[in-house]
Amino acid sequence: MTSPEVAPEIVRFYTETIDEASRLTTAADGVLEMVRTQELLRRHLPAPPARILDVGGGPGAHARWLVRDGYDVHLVDPVRRHIEQARATGATVELGDARRLTADDDSFDVILLLGPLYHLPERGDREKALAEARRVLKPGGLLAAAGINRYASLFEHTAFAHLHREPMQRSISGILASQVHDGRRAFTTAYFHSGEQLRQEVSAAGFTDAEVFGVEGPAWSLLAAAERNTGRSFRDTDLFQSALTAARLAEPYPELLAASSHLLAVGRRPA
């Protein structure tokens, strides 16, 4: 299946600008995202074997461990390079778009949308992706959908120690106000959710028991700042363990969602 509607700058970004395959294994905040995504998903997934559709699965960072855990994983992504990289994970793969899945109705136990919602700035497109997820989920099945936090860029560019410079200051202030990044510099086209907005979008799409978790928690940017300002790796440090502990301790306090980098919503298709 071709993906004519995916914005060309998104495909270009993942094909030429960055190698998504190393994002969750190099920088300490990427490793924190991986560890927390894994623990939050494992808390909600049905026991293996179950069928998981990983929509926007990229090069397969999550597909790899899910296959190892015993799940039957099918990965869909609009970037050819990702599809080629993801073949090595043991998942089956398909070029495609979250808004138009080829899967049959009621055919998967779990749908992961860990990427598409934050690359679809129009609400109508996010609604289509969520409606497709609901269509292909079996009744009672689990949806896990990621968002990037509305305020993540404020923390990230402070960690880079360049937020006070123009035009960075102007650009971040625009993203905070509009919740949209136009994709012209640095990151590609993106939409940034507040925790409550993400929960509401998932509920409005007909999922029940919607809950939102802070993935990296409130201390990821301390880790990013330490790493980026010293040039050292902080993956195996007490600061990493403290940031991970902070993410876990923060879970009962929804106001702290605002400080996490990624948000993870879970919900169920009504049985």
Name the residues that contact ligand SAM, by CB under 6 A. Answer: 6, 10, 14, 20, 24, 55-58, 61-62, 77-79, 82, 97-99, 114-116, 119-120
CB 96 within 8 A of CB 79: no
The CB-of-3 to ligand SAM minimum distance in angstroms stands at: 7
- Where would I find the beta strands (DSSP E) of the chain? 51-55, 72-77, 92-95, 108-113, 137-149, 180-181, 190-193, 208-214, 262-268
What are the DSSP calls for 100-119, one per residue? Answer: B--SPTT-EEEEEESSGGGG
How far is residue 265's CA from residue 47's CA, in Å, rounded to a whole number? Answer: 19
How far is residue 22's CA from residue 160's CA, in Å, rounded to a whole number? Answer: 19
* Nearest residue relative to ligand SAM (C-beta): 115
For residue 221, give the amino acid letter: S
The CB-of-193 to ligand SAM minimum distance in angstroms stands at: 14
Q: Which is nearer to ligand SAM, 45 or 114 (CB)?
A: 114
Q: Which is nearer to ligand SAM, 88 or 161 (CB)?
A: 88
Q: Which is nearer to ligand SAM, 22 or 169 (CB)?
A: 22
CB 144 within 8 A of CB 268: no
How far is residue 101's CA from residue 134's CA, in Å, rounded to a whole number? Answer: 11
The CB-of-120 to ligand SAM minimum distance in angstroms stands at: 6
180 φ/ψ angles, rounded to the nearest 5 degrees: -130, 140
The CB-of-271 to ligand SAM minimum distance in angstroms stands at: 27
Q: Which is nearer to ligand SAM, 126 or 157 (CB)?
A: 126
The CB-of-230 to ligand SAM minimum distance in angstroms stands at: 25
How far is residue 206's CA from residue 267's CA, in Å, rounded to a whole number? Answer: 9
Q: Which is nearer to ligand SAM, 119 or 228 (CB)?
A: 119
How far is residue 17's CA from residue 250's CA, in Å, rounded to a whole number? Answer: 34
Nearest to residue 225, comparing CAs of 21, 22, 27?
27
The CB-of-203 to ligand SAM minimum distance in angstroms stands at: 21
Q: Which is nearer to ligand SAM, 78 or 183 (CB)?
A: 78
